Amino acid sequence: MMKTYFIILSAILLTLGVTAQNKISGYVYHDLNQNGKKERREKGIENVAVTNGEQVVLTNEDGNYELPLGTDNIISVIKPSGYTVATDKNNLPQFFYNYKPNGSPELKFKGVSPTGNPPRSLDFGLIETEETNSFTALVFGDPQVYTLEEIEYFKKGIISGVEGIKNIPFGISLGDLVGNDLSLFNPYITAVKKIGVPWYNILGNHDLNFDAKTDKMSDETFEAHFGPANYAFNYGKVHFIVLDNILYPDTRDSEGYWGGFREDQLNFIANDLEHVPKDHLIVLAFHIPLREPDGDSFRDEDRAKLFRLLKDYPNTLSLSAHTHIQKQNFFTKSDGWLREQPHHEYNVGTTSGDWYSGKLDDIGIPISTMRDGTPKGYAFIHFENNKYTIDYKVAGKPKDYQIEVFAPKVVAKGRNTKAGIYANFFMGKEGDSVMYRIDNGDWKPMKYVREFDPAYAALVNEWDTNPKLMTGRRSSNPVISTHLWRGTIPTKLEVGIHRIDIKATDMFGKEHSASSSYRLEDPKQ
């Protein structure tokens, strides 16, 4: 009887030990031998930020920190500049401790297994490294694989082009890593591992546990594979803040999802920014754009709160994906931005393009051009101190392929035509300089237009007008492009082929060029 009582009492005390612990502490230290264990000769590192997902504290002169601890926290170190964190066998950065004593709730896709009590001292090892203020990050939008077949498309069409890439310290995927089937997280991870650099990941709306009852629980499977959905890290003079900006279920009707932030996430941003120098570049990375022109996709008050938190930072950039098009958004005072210089959000073109649709290329991969005429691809963001420039790389094409030119193949000589010469400048925006000339003549400005990209519309029409069933899956209907220019076609020239040259200057002052041609023939009687 006494033995039974002792067992029951021990169980109660153990339970109390799990549930009553309300603080966690440990050290951030120099991991000299890179074995992930703090040893006596490995000293602590001062002034390193550590977070429980909401509160953020700095380590003291001994490298020690202490944080409040609930019953469901991910404790993570905010990597400082000049240091790196270890990666696992899949090149996933290991900067966090997933504390879920009771594990995730029962869900269709498995979450985090019960972790039990945390270690008495939760320590984070950092590896001192030479970090420059000039570096380049590789950015993916929406891999969004729905099947193992699409994993193969992703590997052959995207990963093969960057496998073993050099001089890139890390990459990041901007959400929708998979398409609702969270069992594909591991094949996705295996595919990205081949790039060979540390890889950060963001939660997208197609990465959620849709059977979760609350937003807080909708990322349980993501957390089991990738760690926290909200975290931060530094590199050079750039501070990256990664955020889950999907509210699920939608707070308006408990159906679907909505773009926005919970209060604890906004608290995390505020607490994190307290420790970031004002002259650093703040890069926010999330899935859903802060604004879309065709609907109420983002909760306005959350965007306003975010902008208030950023008002003292003159250098900012947001990265998003989700739309499966490419565009540049700029927020001004009329949008609630609180500085004179507009805030730039780069909505990155996707690696899945138009959801792996379209006819197949010569290696059997869907061409998957996006609905605004942007080919599938990825971005390189170049950082120099607290400034940045961006290059978009079309998958499987030379890096200088930045403009798609569309013109009629043949036009009647001497007759006016309503057809036009179009330049789809993938990184362009309204106000950019786009010029054209015919046969080495004078350069003339092209007119910025908001229309369907005619080259993409022709691809879609091919599916609808072809009398034979085409291999692959029909492309989506076109949408208005935000980076399209038009020029008139000179017809009062000699019969024959006439060269078209295009040159465009992007927002960073880089000039790009492309060429095409059209043919003039005498009108047929």
pLDDT in tens, 484-500: 999 999 999 999 999 99
Question: Residue range 235-258: average pLDDT?
Answer: 95
Q: Are residues 222 and 343 in the same domain?
A: yes
Indicate if the pLDDT at residue 282 is higher than 60.
Answer: yes
Strands 124-128 and 258-259: unpaired
Domain final residue, candidates 95, 126, 157: 126
Whether 209 and 104 share a structural domain: no
Instruction: Examine the domain organization and report whether 122 and 143 are in the same domain.
Output: no
Q: Same domain for 35 and 105?
A: yes
Residue 76: beta bridge partners?
A: 51, 96
**Nearest residue to 178 via CA among 148, 216, 199, 158:** 148
- The predicted pLDDT at position 11 comes to 41
Rounded to the nearest integer, the mean pLDDT of the chain is: 94
* Strand 511-521 versus strand 410-412 pairing type: parallel
* Count of structural domains, the chain: 3
Residues 85 and 182 in one domain: no
How do residues 82-116 score in pLDDT, each as one tens digit?
999 999 999 999 999 999 999 999 999 999 999 99
pLDDT digits (tens, 9 = 90+) for 356-376: 999 999 999 999 999 999 999
Task: Grade residue 291 by pLDDT with cuts at 50, 70 and 90.
Answer: confident
**Cα separation values, 80 from 84, 167, 232, 281, 310, Å:** 8, 20, 10, 14, 20
DSSP state of 185: H
Is 51 inside any structural domain?
yes
**One domain for residues 112 and 194:** no
Percent pLDDT > 90 in the chain is 94
* CATH number, domain containing residue 194: 3.60.21.10
Q: Same structural domain for residues 389 and 407? A: no
- Six token digits for residue 127: 């590896």
- State whether 80 and 106 are in the same domain: yes
Same domain as 369, residue 448 = no
Round to whole Å and give the CA distance between 91 and 109: 23
Give every CB contact of residue 408 below 8 A, 6+ residues apart in sequence: 417, 419, 489, 518
**Residue 7 located in a structural domain:** no
Contact (Cβ atoms closer than 8 angstroms) between residue 341 and residue 314: yes
- Overall average pLDDT of the 192-219 stretch: 97
From 43-52, 186-195, 252-261, the region with the lowest mean pLDDT: 252-261
Can you give the residue range of the structural domain that contains 471? 403-521
Residues 498, 386 share a domain: no
Choose among 487, 505, 448, 480: nearest CA to 371: 480
β-strands 410-412, 403-406 pairing: unpaired
Domain final residue pick, 364, 394, 424: 394
pLDDT in tens, 6-54: 334 344 334 433 444 699 999 999 999 999 999 999 999 999 999 999 9
Using the 3D structure, point to which of 357, 373, 394 is the last residue of a domain: 394
d(CA 52, CA 69): 7
Share of the chain above pLDDT 70, in %: 96
User: Where residue 72 sits, what CATH number does that domain have?
Assistant: 2.60.40
If you average pLDDT over residues 282-302, what whole number do you get? Answer: 90
Give the pLDDT of residue 292: 74
Q: 293 falls in which pLDDT band (50, 70, 90)?
A: low
pTM: 0.94
Largest CA distance in the chain: 111
Burial of 488 (0-12, 13-18, 19+ CB in 10 A): middle
16, 78, 101, 259 from 71: Cα distances, Å: 12, 21, 7, 26
Do residues 275 and 312 make contact, with C-beta atoms less than 8 angstroms apart? no
Check pLDDT > 70 for residue 465: yes
Contact 85/128 with Cβ under 8 angstroms?
Answer: no
Query: Is 208 inside any structural domain?
Result: yes
Residues 144 and 258 in one domain: yes
Does one domain contain both 285 and 408? no
For the stretch 313-353, pLDDT in tens is 999 999 999 999 999 999 999 999 999 999 999 999 999 99
Q: Specify the pLDDT at position 18.
A: 40
